Amino acid sequence: MAQIVVGDVTIEVDEDGFIQEPEKWNVKVAQALAETEYVNELTEGHWRLVNYLREYYQKFGVAPMIRKLCKETGMKLAEIYELFPTGPAKGACKVAGLAKPTGCV
Amino acid sequence: MAVNVKPDQPEYYNHEQLTQIDYRPPAQAWESRPVTIRPGSFLHPAKPKGASSLGLPHPRQWSPMDEDWKLPADWKEIIITGMKERLEKYRSFKIFMDTCVRCGACADKCHFFIGSGDPRNMPVLRAELLRSIYRNDFTLTGRLLGTLAGGRELTVDVIKEWFAYFYQCTECRRCSVFCPFGIDTAEITMMARELLQLVGVSVNWIIEPAANCDRTGNHLGIQPHGMKDTLEFFADEIEELTGVRVNVPINKKGAEILFVTPSGDLLADPGTYTCMGYLALFHEIGLNYTWSTYASEGGNFGLFSSADLMKRLNAKIFAEARRLGVRWILGGECGHMWRVVHQYMDTMNGPADFLDVPVSPVTGTRFSHARSTKMVHIAEFTADLVKNGRLTLDASRNDRLRVTFHDSCNPARAMGLIEEPRAVLKSVCRNFFEMPEETIREKTLCCGGGAGLGAGENMEVRLRGGMARGLAVKHVRDAHGVNRLATICAIDRVTLTTVCDYWAPGVKVAGLHELVANALVMKGQKKRTHDFRHEPLDPES
């Protein structure tokens, strides 16, 4: 399996670049992942999304539905796409260290 | 930063290139034509974690792009033994291997062939990929005459070919409608996938949801507190839109009805609007029902993997019905769930003799056709409410929408649910237009992403497989201004969103009960100004 190295942390990633060891996530890892999703710099808006995703993930073990993400962060879907051009499920979830949702989604 | 479009994104594919399809058979014999595996054409292999948690054989890291797939040393013996066991266990499998006369009636009926022109996507040839091994190793003429009798030797390249083409089949069974012998080609694909799984060749888009379902009760891995949080979020939304607070009964012992729907309805738009529709409807008719956090999945990705896994995941539904003491089970808008329920559930995990033959508590209608599984599809349940005039509906609330209906393969072909969703739709929408006759009802075309193909990395396959459906949608969009495609399957709601965006832009996808909820007049409601998507009912206002 492919790996990414950030500072002194080595993390396994899957074919789509999602980290497979969520416990190794940190701010620097988020920045490195952001670059793979065409985000140069993580701004306050990015962090509002990432922090909410992590908070939800830590509580529920999965990603939230996108509508809940919008409602809780006060952001419209179009604004999320401006921040993360590859979208909330792929871009924002990857940066937040979440797994990629699979199934009827 | 500039975004580089990759093969897992629809934008990567040029319309003109995709539609330039050469249907002429190539001069070279199919057996000697190489199989190309390239980005956009295959699914990621199952990750060892999910495969191990299900106890599947030979979990490992491997890539379809590598020369070496790290097959177990005795892979050939495993496949042949596995085939022998299945030929003995399933009489249908043996009949389907023996029966085909290669008449070709199915050849141009598969949307993957229509969208690719690849001869191996003709159902007859897809089956031949397996049948040729059967002939070689299990028939007398094949043993004696080999290739002269249509046999061929099992090699690693055959395994790669099976992987490539049995994951370009959505098990939708359109081809079977046209087969004069009624060969169920989906069951051939199911057998091939089972055999591949024996040597650790399976796909993550199927195995991870199945592992989640085994562990938490649903494909998405939603835990009980997450499910409660989600349903209460929907209740908040409904209250905001209608002024009515709906109740959310979960794990309620002694409820009359257990409700089971695909977990995609709890996460992915536009299924979430349909899920709100169920809640609003059940509240309005005062249904004594319950959700379950244990049997929290209607779908069954085991169907796309192996009979054993399908049985294991499906068992939760009856077990939970027994534990909660319900009288019967109502199922949500799912597609392949109904293939499992209608064709396998009774003999796999039944008899459900502890349940009653379903009777609608609102109309008194007895659903005697569901007497074996005790499970009723929500489209027939609601159609019965409509027919008996038990719902107050204001169809004008959907006047903005010009609607067509996509028959999902399994409800249409595996259970004959064709008129009921249409009856409901016509009662809640005043602008309804059918797609061309040869693309609907039992001849319905495919979304291109069912049976575990709904991932992103195989996007070329999905767009090609969805092309025929997409162009039929485009036809009604251009002819009648259709802007909404209704469907009763969670996979469809997601995959057809991609298909419509690509082939018929401007057409959005909706579940049936989202449109029901838009039209439903609720007791104690406030003046409705927005539909269930928070879009204004009257765009002028």
Q: What is the pLDDT of residues B27-54, one digit of tens each?
A: 889 988 889 899 999 999 999 999 999 9
Pair of tokens at residue A32: 């490195």
Does B320 have pLDDT greater than 70?
yes
Which tens digits make up the pLDDT trace of B4-31? 899 999 999 999 999 999 999 888 899 8
Q: How many angstroms away from the CA of A97 is the closest CA of chain B?
A: 16
Ramachandran area for residue B171 (φ above 0: left; ψ -120 to 50: alpha; else beta): left
Q: Write down the pLDDT at residue B538.
A: 83
Q: Which residues in chain A are contacts of B2 at CB distance < 8 A?
A: 38
The answer to whether A50 touches A37, Cβ cutoff 8 Å, is no
Q: Which amino acid is at B466?
A: G
Please tell me the distance from the alpha carbon of residue B299 to that of residue B212, in angstroms, as a whole number: 12
What three-state secondary structure class fits B72?
A: coil
Q: What is the DSSP string of B373-430?
A: T-EEEHHHHHHHHHHTT-S-B-GGGGTT--EEEEPPHIIIIIH---HHHHHHHHHH-S
DSSP code for B2: P
Pair of tokens at residue B359: 């009777």
The answer to whether B250 touches B231, Cβ cutoff 8 Å, is yes
In this structure, is the dihedral angle defined by the CA atoms of residues B24, B149, B71 and B188, taken in order, positive or negative? positive
The mean per-residue pLDDT over the stretch B400-421 comes to: 97
Interface of B with A in 449-508 (CB under 8 A): 454-457, 490-491, 493-494
Q: How many angstroms away from the CA of A7 is the closest CA of chain B?
A: 23
The answer to whether A6 touches A25, Cβ cutoff 8 Å, is no
Q: How many CB atoms lie within 10 A of CB A47?
A: 15
Q: How many angstroms away from the CA of B388 is the closest CA of chain A?
A: 33
Q: Write down the pLDDT at residue B34.
A: 86
Q: Is A104 a catalytic residue?
A: yes
Question: B328-331 and B289-290 as β-strands: parallel, antiparallel, unpaired?
Answer: unpaired
Please tell me the distance from the alpha carbon of residue B214 to that of residue B219, in angstroms, as a whole number: 8
Residue owning tokens 């409608």: B177
Give the CA angle between residues B38, B301, B156 to the nearest 5°.
40
Q: Exposed, middle or buried: residue B276 (CB in 10 Å: 0-12, 13-18, 19+)?
A: buried
Interface of B with A in 227-256 (CB under 8 A): 229-230, 233, 237
> Length of chain A, please?
105
Q: Does domain A23-95 have CATH number 1.10.10.370?
A: yes
Q: Mean pLDDT across chain B, nearest whole number?
A: 96
Nearest chain B residue to A21, by CA? B49
The contacts of residue B85 (CB under 8 Å, 6+ apart) are none
Q: Write down the pLDDT at residue B1.
A: 53
Pair of tokens at residue B5: 């479009």
Please tell me the distance from the alpha carbon of residue B256 to that of residue A95, in angstroms, as a whole number: 45
Give the CA angle between residues B164, B167, B170 to the nearest 5°.
145
Please tell me the distance from the alpha carbon of residue B359 to that of residue B362, in angstroms, as a whole number: 9
* CB pair distance less than 8 Å for B3 and A67: no
Q: Write down the pLDDT at residue A99.
A: 86
Q: Which residues in chain A are contacts of B223 at CB distance < 8 A?
A: 60-62
Q: Which residues in chain A are contacts of B269 at CB distance < 8 A?
A: 65-67
Please tell me the distance from the alpha carbon of residue B216 to that of residue B201, in angstroms, as a whole number: 24
Which tens digits make up the pLDDT trace of B255-290? 999 999 999 999 999 999 999 999 999 999 999 999
The answer to whether B46 touches B203, Cβ cutoff 8 Å, is yes
Q: B236-259: b or e for each residue (b if 16 or more CB lie within 10 Å)? A: ebbeebbebebebebbbeebbbbb
Of the candidates A1, A5, A104, A105, the residue annotated as catalytic is: A104
Chain centroid offset of residue B422 CA: 19
Chain centroid offset of residue B483 CA: 23
The mean per-residue pLDDT over the stretch A71-100 comes to: 94
Q: Write down the pLDDT at residue A1.
A: 75
Q: What is the 3-state secondary structure (H, E, C) of A25-91?
A: CCHHHHHHHHHHCCCCCCCHHHHHHHHHHHHHHHHHCCCCCHHHHHHHHCCCHHHHHHHCCCHHHHH
Pair of tokens at residue B309: 């896994």
Nearest of B300, B253, B263, B255 to residue B282 by alpha carbon: B255
Which tens digits make up the pLDDT trace of B198-244? 999 999 999 999 999 999 999 999 999 999 999 999 999 999 999 99
Interface of B with A in 33-52 (CB under 8 A): 44, 47
pTM: 0.96
The contacts of residue B366 (CB under 8 Å, 6+ apart) are B357, B358, B359
Nearest chain B residue to A58, by CA? B226
* CB pair distance less than 8 Å for A40 and B267: no
* Any A CB within 8 A of B337 CB: no
Q: Which residues in chain A are contacts of B8 at CB distance < 8 A?
A: 16
Question: B289-290 and B257-260 as β-strands: parallel, antiparallel, unpaired?
Answer: parallel
Domain positions in chain B: 17-202, 210-519
Q: Which residues in chain A are contacts of B61 at CB distance < 8 A?
A: 1
Does B124 have pLDDT greater than 80?
yes
Q: How many angstroms away from the CA of B241 is the closest CA of chain A?
A: 15
- Say what percent of chain B tops pLDDT 90: 96
* CB pair distance less than 8 Å for B456 and A16: yes
Which tens digits make up the pLDDT trace of B463-507? 999 999 999 999 999 999 999 999 999 999 999 999 999 999 999
